[in-house]
Structure 1
Amino acid sequence: MSQNTITLAQAQQWAKNWRDNPDPSVIAFLIPEIDLTQVMAERETVDVRTYLGIDDDNKCKLMIVGVNASGNDLIDDSKGQYIYDMTTACQPDCDVNSPLFNI
């Protein structure tokens, strides 16, 4: 597994948690640069897709996967195609001076 990745089973559970109980207080996510550079470096990745989730500690998460030229998610550990997540939600990790925060 690569750095900052989670398993497919974890991602599925987190996505289900979000769909069962979305958190409207989350307005943004901070995405570490390493998540973006690692997913873009994966073979066949031309875009990224994100999924919302809630982890086992009840924290909102944004999961990141590579997407190929056909628009398909690239999720296959054996091919080095991972699900990335070290994101943090806003709130509490916000830029309170952002014009997008203060609306």
Structure 2
Amino acid sequence: MGEPSKGPKPNKRNTISLKTAKKWAKEWRDDEASYNKYFECRAFNIPKKDLIEVLQEDGVESVRAYIGVEKLKIEGENVFIEKLMIVGVDKNGKDMLTLSSEDADVLDPEGGGIYDFTDPCPEVCDPKSPLND
């Protein structure tokens, strides 16, 4: 038997705060009925390296993806960017998020992260994919 494969270590630059993740997920739920009438998000591109990072967290058995929307104001106009937030899941099916003992909206830096490294389609799409017909 050879040595186990060594993948990239988790990179906190690809994580977002719990507060931001909760805001995006709430925005998606609040706007879902009307949001999807006007926007065309079909899919998310997830770089392999970034997916490997979340899988390298200690104790991860699978990942869970949450859908959210980042709402920005650009030149007085509301701009929405779809987000797919990915967290590690343990063998018991629980999100591997440990809250800070001091603030319920902050993750303990020693625990798992909420990864935001996806790009929505349209913009990062395969226009020839049969899934985009």
Is TM-score (shorter-chain normalized) higher than 0.5? yes
User: Is 2:120 aligned against 1:89?
Assistant: yes
CA contact (8 A) 1:35 1:85 kept: no
Q: Counterpart in 2 of 1:101?
A: 132
Q: Displacement of 1:36 after TM fit?
A: 0.7
Q: Counterpart in 2 of 1:69?
A: 91
Compute the TM-score of the two structures, normalised by the length of structure 1: 0.90
CA contact (8 A) 1:52 1:60 kept: yes
Structure with more contact order per residue of length (Cα contacts < 8 Å, sep ≥ 6): 1
Q: Counterpart in 1 of 2:77?
A: none
Which residue of 22, 30, 33 maps to 2:48? 33
Q: Greater Rg, structure 1 or structure 2?
A: 2
- 1:34-87: per-residue Cα shift (whole Å, max 9, x none)? 321111000110100000001133200000000001000011333240000121
Shift >6 Å, 4+ stretches:
none
User: Is 2:25 aligned against 1:15?
Assistant: yes
Amino acid at match of 1:20: D
In the alignment, structure 2 segments of 5+ residues that lack a partner are 1-10, 73-79, 99-107
User: Could you tell me how far apart the structure 1 residues matched to 2:14 and 2:110 are?
Assistant: 16
Compute the TM-score of the two structures, normalised by the length of structure 2: 0.71
Give the count of matched residue pairs.
102
CA contact (8 A) 2:96 2:111 kept: no
User: Is 2:13 aligned against 1:3?
Assistant: yes
User: Could you tell me how far apart the structure 1 residues matched to 2:16 and 2:71 are?
Assistant: 12
Identity of aligned residues (%): 43
Q: Displacement of 1:16 after TM fit?
A: 0.3
User: Could you tell me how far apart the structure 2 residues matched to 1:35 and 1:73 are?
Assistant: 18
In the alignment, structure 1 segments of 5+ residues that lack a partner are none
